[in-house]
Structure 1
């Protein structure tokens, strides 16, 4: 019996851990093939590929991001092969199961919840006696009747074979995200999350976990994302894994979801003293700093302790942090969300993810949606549209914040500029992103594409029209940020150089002759004028950059900025990365009569 397990992943680089668990559990008795696609693949292309695999049983892993596309594929395949047995599983169909059987008449079975043993039992009955009523955790059709069997007991995790040892996965490991779990379940009861439906936390054997991680690293994996809902809930287990990965990382990066307000000081001290830069990334679900909103969704969180942990990790400087917010929680209006955003942005995470509440099937918040006046999308992803304290107009405006936050802060395109604007020119971080997002939408830019230089020129237009006091300072920082966004000398700029070509040439000639005038670091290098013309960009800023970077003080003094992009004199080559140097212009020219006039 040929079995194909399929999933539509959100992106090509993603992989389906669920399919690999199912195959590992049943492959000794059944011929199972994994077929992965993305939600952007054309439906007919996926249908054709699956049809040509000639499955007798076809299983789909269903989530909120792929269910609608999956339904289209199922409908087409069932028309082409009416005798094909279709099995659905995954969190999207594990709740309101009768609804899904009615909505997807082409589906023969649904596997609910943890699926390894249930799916194996179901395959055994499909091939054998067809005693569907004995398959705990399955739902099926009995003529016109829909039958939902009782749930199956949770598995002892170490009875599940490892999903990480398939030879066919090895060639793609360096270019794909590997999803990995050391435990199942969550100790918390947040009513917007499906993890609240499962009580308790179960762990895989520690030695087995280490062996699997070693195998993945030795096989070329470059990014492993742990899907444990709270990786650090069991301190000794987490410490053991951290220590093992520090010793055996092989250049791989590991990402964890942590609960920051329960992170123990000794764990942070250990990481500070041992974790190399770039080895670990932490994802911290803050969601809201509104205590009433957290109470209403049964979320326990001490923001003071959370902030202390995030700041301590930031001091370590070796671990990037990704902090999550949810707009639309009950009891949190626009003003409160503004405060939540500013509270969390003040921690300066490397990435701040702003998401919107989704009323997921199976969650307590969906059950109580009417209590809080929720209006939400009827189909996946069930995103909230408004509630009794947050209007749809408010939601629209917050989405504009999300848009420019992604483009400018999370993409790290204007770190210095954004920091200056937030500290000196706008009442708060939220106000900057909100005003800019409103301006962006008003100009219709959300409906057209953009290149890197467009992002800078559009910010310049916004700041000029708003009339900020430090416009020239912001413009100078934008120029530096633009230069540093390139690994190679940029061919295009979005402003008019302060100096004409003659002035730039004179300065490059002077730097080539006496590099120490600009920076002691350049004194021992051997840049010649030809190399500088090839590898350098030069501009004049209206303030002393060195003083500003060291103290935050703005000293109005014309300053020469030189940005180098590799080259022979630097000892580097193409793409060696941008490095910059600055010094007061008067110090560099030494009162000489250089041709620094305008164009």
Structure 2
């Protein structure tokens, strides 16, 4: 019997952990082939490839991000190969299973919940006596075509599941893919918007097995491993042992964890601050809301003061990037309340702030109570809300504009200095900056067209001019620096007029080549000739004392700064150096 398991991933670099668990668990009895695609692949291409593999049984791992595309593939496959047995599994079809079986007559079976043991039992019955009523955790159609949903299956001991990380066919792609890894299953919390709240308790894989799998992945060239544990730090000793193991064996690999920040112990933070190498750990922290009533209604226990302590302590260490998550549209969180939530969290200075919108996932308590709060939401995945009794669709659309500009101008880290200056000095709050800019962005129709790097700068400048933002010359100076630092090689396109003509630039380059110590000892150490500067450096004026601003946050217009940005010949990234301009030229620049 030829068995193929498949999934449509969100991106090419992603991998589906579920398929690997199924293959590993069944490998002693069935030789299972894995076939991964993306949701961007044309359905005909996917169907053609699956048809070429000629499966007798075809399984799909289903999630909110791929269910619609998967359905199209399933329907096509059943038409061209009616005898094919099609099995669905995954969180999207594990709840409301009867609905899916009736909605999709092309589907023969649905595996509910953890699928390893159930899928193996089902394959045995398909290839044998076909007594499907004995297969716990499966939905099927009986001889009369009626849908039957069997009782659920008891949980496996996790260590009875073979490792999903030992397949030769995966190893060549490891350096270029995201590897998903779990040390536990389950979640101790009961957040009513999350599927993890349905499973009670947390189970752990054996520590030595976990270490062996991690070491194998690292040795095989993995560059990014994302732990999918819902609360990685819930068991302090277990988390600490893995942190120490990864510190000792990381070899340049990066590891991302979902943590609950308000339960992070101070001694763990101190340990990481002292021992974690910079850049190898990333923390994803779900804040979701800072509204106490909202958190109470969704059964989310959160101490924002302790969360703040953790985030700030991690930030002060400079070792770990933090990705903080928010959800717009939770119960009793109207537009003004969400504005406060956004500003509370942005004030923590996360490297990335992810703004998501509430999704009414099948099986969650909040979907069950949707009428209580007046929710309306999409009928199809991803079931995103369209409004509720206190947050109308018009307010949701305004927050969508915030999300769009936030991604382009904060999470991308293309204008960090500029955006920070604007938020701190020119706008009432971070939310107001992103909202007003987002409104302007949509007014100009920019959401309908693409953008190059320089477009981001020009559009911000246009917005600031339209608004009449004061001190735009200061902002422009910071934008110049941000723009230069976004290039690996000397930029060919400049979106403003240089402050110096060619003769002035030639004079400065000659002086810097002859007396480099006037710039700085760091610049002098580069040993650049005048010819090198022409090839690998740019020179511009900043109309204030940039070193003082960076050191003290003070804008001193009495001294302008000559900015020199040097690009390495190998494209390894730019460095910048500053020196005071001659006073007469400084006066001229400020005056003009």
TM range (shorter): over 0.9
Partner of 2:346: 345
Larger mean Cα displacement after TM superposition, 243-252 or 228-237 = 243-252
Runs of 4+ more than 3 Å apart = 587-591, 595-599
The answer on whether the counterparts of 1:11 and 1:39 sit within 8 Å (CA) in structure 2 is yes
Spell out the pairing of 1:71-90 with structure 2 (5 A cutoff). Answer: 71-90=71-90
**How much does 1:188 deviate?**
0.0
Partner of 2:94: 94
The answer on whether the counterparts of 1:489 and 1:536 sit within 8 Å (CA) in structure 2 is yes
Spell out the pairing of 1:196-235 with structure 2 (5 A cutoff). Answer: 196-235=197-236
**How much does 1:510 deviate?**
1.6
The Cα offsets for residues 332-354 of structure 1, whole Å up to 9 and x where unpaired, read as: 00000000000000001000000
Secondary structure, aligned partner of 1:232: coil
Partner of 2:381: 380
Spell out the pairing of 1:506-585 with structure 2 (5 A cutoff). Answer: 506-556=507-557, 557-566=559-568, 573-585=569-581
Partner of 2:40: 40
Partner of 2:311: 310
Q: In structure 2, what is the Cα distance between the partners aligned to 1:535 and 1:82? A: 64
**How much does 1:576 deviate?**
2.9
Secondary structure, aligned partner of 2:582: helix
Partner of 1:151: 152
Q: Is it true that 1:59 corresponds to 2:59 in the alignment?
A: yes
Q: In structure 2, what is the Cα distance between the partners aligned to 1:316 and 1:117? A: 44
The Cα offsets for residues 434-469 of structure 1, whole Å up to 9 and x where unpaired, read as: 000000000000000100000000000001111111
**How much does 1:528 deviate?**
1.6
The answer on whether the counterparts of 1:500 and 1:596 sit within 8 Å (CA) in structure 2 is no
The answer on whether the counterparts of 1:182 and 1:209 sit within 8 Å (CA) in structure 2 is yes
Q: In structure 2, what is the Cα distance between the partners aligned to 1:348 and 1:524? A: 34
**How much does 1:583 deviate?**
1.9
Secondary structure, aligned partner of 1:233: coil
Partner of 1:114: 114
Q: In structure 1, what is the Cα distance between the partners aligned to 2:510 and 2:472? A: 31
The answer on whether the counterparts of 2:8 and 2:36 sit within 8 Å (CA) in structure 1 is yes
**How much does 1:598 deviate?**
12
Q: In structure 1, what is the Cα distance between the partners aligned to 2:322 and 2:108? A: 43
**How much does 1:314 deviate?**
0.4
Q: Is it true that 1:29 corresponds to 2:29 in the alignment?
A: yes
Secondary structure, aligned partner of 2:490: coil
Q: Is it true that 1:420 corresponds to 2:425 in the alignment?
A: no
Q: In structure 2, what is the Cα distance between the partners aligned to 1:597 and 1:132? A: 82
The Cα offsets for residues 355-380 of structure 1, whole Å up to 9 and x where unpaired, read as: 00000000000000000000100000
The answer on whether the counterparts of 1:182 and 1:204 sit within 8 Å (CA) in structure 2 is yes
Partner of 1:432: 433
**How much does 1:526 deviate?**
2.4
Secondary structure, aligned partner of 2:185: strand
The Cα offsets for residues 124-158 of structure 1, whole Å up to 9 and x where unpaired, read as: 10011111111000001122311100000011100
The Cα offsets for residues 231-265 of structure 1, whole Å up to 9 and x where unpaired, read as: 00000000000000000112110000000000001
Q: In structure 2, what is the Cα distance between the partners aligned to 1:33 and 1:590? A: 69
**How much does 1:596 deviate?**
9.6
**How much does 1:47 deviate?**
0.2
Q: In structure 1, what is the Cα distance between the partners aligned to 2:79 and 2:185? A: 38
Q: In structure 2, what is the Cα distance between the partners aligned to 1:328 and 1:447? A: 25
**How much does 1:587 deviate?**
6.8
Give structure 1 stretches of 5+ with no counterpart: 567-572
The answer on whether the counterparts of 2:543 and 2:589 sit within 8 Å (CA) in structure 1 is no
Q: In structure 2, what is the Cα distance between the partners aligned to 1:31 and 1:383? A: 39
**How much does 1:574 deviate?**
2.4
**How much does 1:288 deviate?**
0.3
Q: Is it true that 1:279 corresponds to 2:280 in the alignment?
A: yes
The answer on whether the counterparts of 2:566 and 2:575 sit within 8 Å (CA) in structure 1 is yes
Structure 1 residues 598 and 53, CA, compared in 2 at 3 Å: closer, same or farther?
farther
The Cα offsets for residues 17-75 of structure 1, whole Å up to 9 and x where unpaired, read as: 00000110001101210000000000000000000101000000000000001001011
Q: In structure 2, what is the Cα distance between the partners aligned to 1:96 and 1:525? A: 65
The answer on whether the counterparts of 2:24 and 2:164 sit within 8 Å (CA) in structure 1 is yes
Q: In structure 2, what is the Cα distance between the partners aligned to 1:74 and 1:438? A: 41
Structure 1 residues 316 and 60, CA, compared in 2 at 3 Å: closer, same or farther?
same
Partner of 1:189: 190
**How much does 1:518 deviate?**
2.1
Q: Say what the alpha-carbon RMSD is for the aligned residues.
A: 1.6
Partner of 2:481: 480
Q: In structure 1, what is the Cα distance between the partners aligned to 2:347 and 2:209? A: 40
**How much does 1:597 deviate?**
13
Partner of 1:569: none
Structure 1 residues 207 and 503, CA, compared in 2 at 3 Å: closer, same or farther?
same
Q: In structure 1, what is the Cα distance between the partners aligned to 2:201 and 2:61? A: 24
Secondary structure, aligned partner of 2:282: strand
Q: In structure 2, what is the Cα distance between the partners aligned to 1:17 and 1:129? A: 30
Give structure 2 stretches of 5+ with no counterpart: none
The Cα offsets for residues 538-573 of structure 1, whole Å up to 9 and x where unpaired, read as: 11111100000000001002211110002xxxxxx3
Q: In structure 1, what is the Cα distance between the partners aligned to 2:168 and 2:349? A: 41
The answer on whether the counterparts of 1:499 and 1:597 sit within 8 Å (CA) in structure 2 is no
Larger mean Cα displacement after TM superposition, 37-46 or 497-506 = 497-506
**How much does 1:415 deviate?**
0.3
**How much does 1:519 deviate?**
2.0
Partner of 1:399: 400
Q: In structure 1, what is the Cα distance between the partners aligned to 2:441 and 2:287? A: 27
